[in-house]
């Protein structure tokens, strides 16, 4: 690429942006990392109560035996259940804490809740269920309905244990079975256990001084209290009339509910530590002619196309063509301004950074276009690379700050100072509120078993927490030595993708294949070999380098362990080779059919 062509393609000062990004990150770096948050238990336990259950299910404790127990009724569990049914598994039990299937979408019903990954790639099993979402970006109620549709189609209600929380999973060597204990007094047995507890499952509170003392009404966004606010996920929070509401947090959740709070409350105070990047959403109705024209296999093809593009790969077409894939279009544009053949990885990284600057400049200029007050506009601008934090896409969030009843309380990266019985204190100022809403997200970097809410005891009674005390050990993120016949669905040591259900789809196919194969080969247990597991961990560590470097430069958040990298960060992270490569590894492994790295007994 000629320097001239490159200069023509960029209309910003990269050095100035680099400096600004660093300055904004440094301002937010803190030594306590994840410790800054309060674990929701004890005096805070009421924040976890399920406000959505209409009637408690009464049943006797279960002490029977099933072939497979699936913990978690969200997309991961539903996909695993569906693929196992397809593989002929009949004796299957889904265990779910909530009163329904749906997982994330069971809990997150806050006003405006919706998914901003395109619905045609986000929703699983569209071809299998014959369902087509009504809009390009689906809303939470439609997703919840789709979860129920999947459960019905694959007969997953049958034998399910809903409103049931697992408390312990323990291997019984003489029986060669897992014993699963729950809060319903169950002690059921299972040959296989699949755990799909959800990556953003356990809400967290900020460890702000005085957080326990607030006497007004309060709740976390994942347990929305419609009895207090009125309205529904579609909005209409009429009971907030006459009320002063404070919301802490400005992540993807707050972005979706703030416009509705702005509509309903008399006064709304939005406490911001770091602004989100808010790009165009442009939702629209599904083009039904297009939907009818789709050929079998379209869903997988579209998911793969999206995943390649958002993973920084190249594809000849961009089927989804939205704000997620735009960065790659910028990258291609910049790269095409000269000789783009045989670019070194360093040059490619440089171009990717420029494409990112270009994208974020556009996001920042949108703030200026929408916000009337220049001071507020400045405070709403994000200064970091697009994928340092979860990018957001919304067409009403920014405009809400033009309303006279909406007050942005920007804390210049420092967060809220203190909470009292009646108020929130930030920047030395006190804001009295009737209702305080925590949009402060979910635990990510804490121990797996703390997040799942139960311990797993494998061979010789050794716990998973102890086994992983020096970092995660696994084969492909799914199987762990010492824990025969257990499968973990999730992102650690697996391929990260912005379209999380895509990962769950690939993992569920893999798990169903392994269970089916173990059955065919009459194995009573499968478990990673010492060598198989350590080879995968070594590969994860080796590939962690590039991603670690990127994340170090980022402003703190849950993507980079709150800016506090630890020795375990690389090992506990997603596979650094990316999801495209990870899916290929799994696919190749199954095609080879040797089950290498696993011991079958
Ligand atoms: P996040 O973890 O993304 O956001 C938490 C927010 O709380 C951040 O803005 C954080 O600021 C702020 N915060 C934390 N502590 C303090 C403090 N002491 N004072 C002030 N602010 C504080 O949680 P969300 O629930 O918003 O989103 C979680 C994830 O869920 C998303 O990242 C996304 O993956 C998913 N999601 C997806 C949606 C979709 O459309 N598909 C919609 C909603 C959520 P800071 O940034 O400085 O840490």
What's the pLDDT band for 325 if we cut at 50, 70, 90? confident
Q: Whose CA is nearest to atom 22 of ligand 1?
A: 249
pLDDT of residue 35: 83
To test the pocket of ligand 1, the residue of 440, 451, 498 to mutate (highest count of ligand atoms within 8 Å of its CB) is 440
422 — pLDDT class (breaks 50, 70, 90) = very high
How close is the Cα of 93 to the center of ligand 1, in Å?
33
Interval between CA 557 and ligand 1 midpoint (Å): 8
Distance 441 CA to ligand 1 centre (A): 5
pLDDT at 32: 82
CA 211 to chain centre: 26
Domain ranges, residue 453: 65-202+445-523
Look at residue 368 and tell me if it is in a domain: no
Q: How many CB atoms lie within 10 A of CB 373?
A: 11
Mean pLDDT of 574-592: 96
pLDDT at 107: 97
Residue 434 domain-assigned (yes or no): yes
Provide mean pLDDT across the span 298-318.
Answer: 91
- What integer is the mean pLDDT of 7-15? 82
Range 560-579 average pLDDT: 84
What's the full length of the chain, in residues?
601
Determine, yes or no, domain membership for 320.
no
| Per-residue pLDDT tens over the stretch 99-121 | 999 999 999 999 999 999 999 99
Q: Which atom of ligand 1 is nearest to the CA of 271?
A: 20
Do 178 and 227 have their domain in common? Answer: no
Whether 263 and 404 share a structural domain? yes
* Ligand 1 atom 19: residue of nearest CA: 415
Note whether residue 306 is domain-resident. no
- Residues 390 and 488 both lie in one domain: no
Is the pLDDT at 342 greater than 70, yes or no?
A: no
pLDDT band at 347 (very low <50, low <70, confident <90, very high): confident
Residue 339 has pLDDT above 60, yes or no: no
Q: How far is the CA of 248 from the centre of ligand 1 (A)?
A: 9
From 438, 458, 479, the end of a domain falls on 438
Confidence bin at 254 (pLDDT 50/70/90): very high
Nearest residue by C-alpha to atom 10 in ligand 1: 249
Q: Are residues 273 and 181 in the same domain?
A: no
Number of domains in the chain: 2
**What is the mean predicted confidence (pLDDT) over 18-24?**
96
Query: Is the domain of 91 the same as that of 187?
Result: yes
- What's the pLDDT score for residue 350? 83
What is the Cα gyration radius of the chain? 24
Query: What's the rounded Cα separation, in Å, for the pair 247 and 220?
Result: 10
Distance, CA 251 to ligand 1 centroid (Å)?
3
Q: How confident is the model at residue 562 (pLDDT cuts 50, 70, 90)?
A: confident
Task: Say yes or no: 100 and 143 in one domain.
Answer: yes
Whether residue 276 is predicted with pLDDT greater than 80 in this model: the reply is: yes
The domain boundary, picked from 391, 415, 438, lies at 438
The fraction of the chain above a pLDDT of 70, given in percent, is 96
- Could you tell me if residue 47 is inside a domain? no
| pLDDT tens digits along 221-236 | 999 999 999 999 999 9
**Structure tokens of 558?**
């849950």
Reported as a pLDDT band with limits 50, 70 and 90, residue 295 is very high
pLDDT band at 10 (very low <50, low <70, confident <90, very high): confident
Ligand 1 atom 48: residue of nearest CA: 557
Nearest CA to ligand 1 atom 20: 415
Q: Which atom of ligand 1 is nearest to the CA of 562?
A: 48
339 exposed, middle or buried (CB, 10 Å; 0-12, 13-18, 19+)? exposed
Q: Which atom of ligand 1 is nearest to the CA of 122?
A: 41
The pLDDT of residue 311: 85
% residues pLDDT > 90 (the chain)? 81
pLDDT at 131: 98
Predicted local confidence at residue 443, as pLDDT = 87
Question: Which tokens go with 23?
Answer: 């300055």
Q: Which ligand 1 atom is the nearest neighbour of the CA of 390?
A: 32
Q: Give the Cα-Cα-Cα angle 218, 416, 107 (nearest 5 degrees).
A: 40
Indicate if the pLDDT at residue 94 is higher than 90.
Answer: yes
pLDDT of residue 502: 98
How far apart are the CA of 558 and the centre of ligand 1, in A?
8
- Of 100, 102, 142, 105, nearest in space to 120 by CA: 142
194 and 71 inside one domain: yes
Predicted confidence at residue 335, as pLDDT, reads: 65
Judge whether 240 lies within some domain. yes
Q: Coil, strand, or helix at residue 31? A: coil
Lowest mean pLDDT among 24-33, 406-415, 480-489: 24-33
Domain-terminating residue out of 438, 455, 482: 438
The ligand 1 atom at the shortest distance from the C-alpha of residue 207 is: 18
| pLDDT at site 570 | 86
Measured N-to-C along each axis, helices 323-335 and 298-310 cross at an angle, to the nearest 10 degrees, of: 60
Distance from the alpha carbon of residue 358 to the mean position of ligand 1, in angstroms: 24
Q: Supply the residue whose CA is at minimum distance from atom 2 of ligand 1.
A: 441
364 C-alpha to ligand 1 centroid (Å): 19
Please give the torsion angle defined by the CA atoms of residues 79, 52, 390 and 270, in that order, rounded to the nearest 10 degrees: 180
Residues 116 and 193 in one domain: yes
| Average pLDDT value over all residues in the chain | 93
**Pair 224, 176 in one domain:** no
d(CA 424, CA 294): 52
Pocket test of ligand 1: the residue of 255, 380, 441 to mutate, having most ligand atoms within 8 Å of its CB, is: 441
Measured by CA distance, the residue closest to atom 15 of ligand 1 is 206
Is 281's pLDDT higher than 70?
Answer: yes
- Domain at 207, CATH number: 3.50.50.60
- Identify which of 336-340, 473-477, 545-549 has the greatest average pLDDT: 473-477
Q: Are 389 and 468 in the same domain?
A: no
What's the CA-to-centroid distance between 278 and ligand 1, angstroms? 13
For residue 256, is it within any domain?
yes
Residue 7 pLDDT grade (very low, low, confident, very high; cuts 50, 70, 90): low
Determine the distance separating the centroid of ligand 1 and the alpha carbon of 566, expressed in angstroms: 21
Give yes or no: residues 108 and 257 share one domain. Answer: no
Of all protein residues, the one whose alpha carbon is nearest to atom 45 of ligand 1 is 274
Cα–Cα–Cα angle for 339, 342, 347, nearest 5°? 80
Q: Which residues line ligand 1 (CB under 6 A)?
A: 115-117, 200, 206, 208, 248-254, 256, 271, 273-274, 390, 415-416, 439-442, 557-558
In a domain, 410, yes or no: yes
- Residues 160-173 have a mean pLDDT of 98
Counts for the chain of helices (H) and strands (E), in that order: 21, 21
Rounded mean pLDDT of 406-410?
A: 98
Give 388 Cα–ligand 1 centroid separation in angstroms: 12
Q: Report which ligand 1 atom has the smallest distance to the Cα of 413.
A: 47
Residues 79 and 151 in one domain: yes
Is pLDDT of 151 > 90? yes
């Amino acid at each position: 690429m000629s320097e001239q062509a490159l200069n023509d393609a960029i209309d910003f000062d990269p050095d100035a942006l680099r400096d600004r990004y660093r300055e904004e990150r440094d301002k937010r770096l803190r030594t306590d990392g994840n410790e800054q948050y309060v674990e929701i238990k004890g005096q805070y336990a009421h924040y976890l109560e399920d406000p959505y259950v209409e009637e408690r299910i009464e049943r006797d404790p279960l002490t029977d035996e099933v072939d497979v127990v699936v913990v978690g009724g969200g997309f991961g569990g539903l996909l695993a259940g569906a693929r196992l049914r397809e593989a002929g598994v009949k004796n299957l039990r889904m265990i779910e804490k909530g009163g329904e299937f749906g997982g994330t979408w069971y809990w997150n019903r806050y006003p405006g809740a919706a998914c901003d990954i395109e619905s045609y790639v986000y929703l699983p099993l569209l071809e299998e269920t014959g369902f087509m979402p009504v809009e390009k970006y689906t809303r939470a109620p439609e997703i919840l309905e789709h979860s129920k549709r999947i459960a019905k189609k694959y007969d997953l209600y049958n034998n399910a244990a809903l409103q049931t929380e697992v408390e312990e999973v323990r291997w019984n060597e003489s029986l060669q079975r897992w014993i699963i204990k729950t809060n319903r007094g169950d002690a059921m047995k299972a040959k296989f256990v699949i755990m799909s507890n959800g990556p953003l499952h356990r809400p967290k509170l900020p460890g702000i001084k005085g957080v326990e003392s607030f006497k007004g009404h309060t709740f976390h966004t994942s347990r929305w209290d419609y009895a207090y606010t009125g309205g529904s996920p579609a909005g209409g929070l009429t009971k907030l009339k006459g009320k002063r509401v404070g919301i802490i947090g400005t992540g993807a959740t707050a972005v979706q509910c703030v416009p509705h709070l702005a509509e309903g409350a008399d006064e709304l105070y939005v406490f911001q530590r770091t602004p989100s990047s808010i790009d165009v959403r442009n939702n629209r109705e599904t083009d039904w002619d297009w939907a009818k024209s789709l050929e079998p296999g379209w869903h997988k093809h579209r998911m793969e196309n999206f995943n390649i593009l958002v993973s920084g790969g190249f594809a000849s077409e961009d089927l989804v063509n939205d704000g997620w894939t735009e960065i790659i279009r910028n990258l291609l544009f910049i790269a095409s301004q000269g000789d783009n053949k045989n670019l070194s990885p360093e040059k490619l990284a440089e171009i990717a950074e420029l494409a990112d600057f270009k994208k974020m400049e556009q996001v920042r200029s949108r703030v200026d276009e929408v916000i009337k007050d220049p001071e507020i506009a400045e405070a709403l601008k994000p200064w970091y690379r697009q994928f340092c934090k979860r990018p957001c896409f919304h067409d009403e969030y920014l405009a809400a700050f033009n309303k006279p009843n909406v007050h942005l309380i920007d804390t210049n990266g420092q967060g809220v100072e203190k909470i009292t019985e009646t108020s929130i204190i930030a920047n030395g100022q006190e804001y009295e509120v009737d209702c305080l809403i925590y949009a402060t997200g979910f635990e990510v970097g804490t121990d797996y078993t703390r997040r799942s809410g139960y311990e797993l005891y494998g061979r010789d009674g050794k716990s998973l927490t102890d086994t992983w005390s020096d970092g995660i050990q696994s084969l492909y993120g799914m199987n762990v030595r010492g824990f025969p016949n257990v499968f973990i669905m999730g992102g650690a040591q697996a391929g990260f993708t912005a379209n999380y259900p895509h990962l769950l789809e690939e993992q569920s196919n893999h798990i169903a294949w392994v269970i089916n194969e173990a059955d065919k080969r009459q194995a009573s247990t499968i478990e990673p070999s010492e060598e198989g597991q350590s080879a995968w961990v070594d590969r994860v560590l080796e590939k962690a380098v590039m991603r670690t470097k990127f994340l170090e430069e980022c402003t703190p958040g849950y993507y980079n362990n709150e800016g506090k990298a630890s020795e375990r960060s690389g090992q506990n992270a997603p596979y650094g080779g990316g999801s495209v490569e990870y899916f290929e590894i799994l696919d190749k492994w199954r095609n080879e059919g040797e089950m290498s790295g696993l011991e079958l007994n």
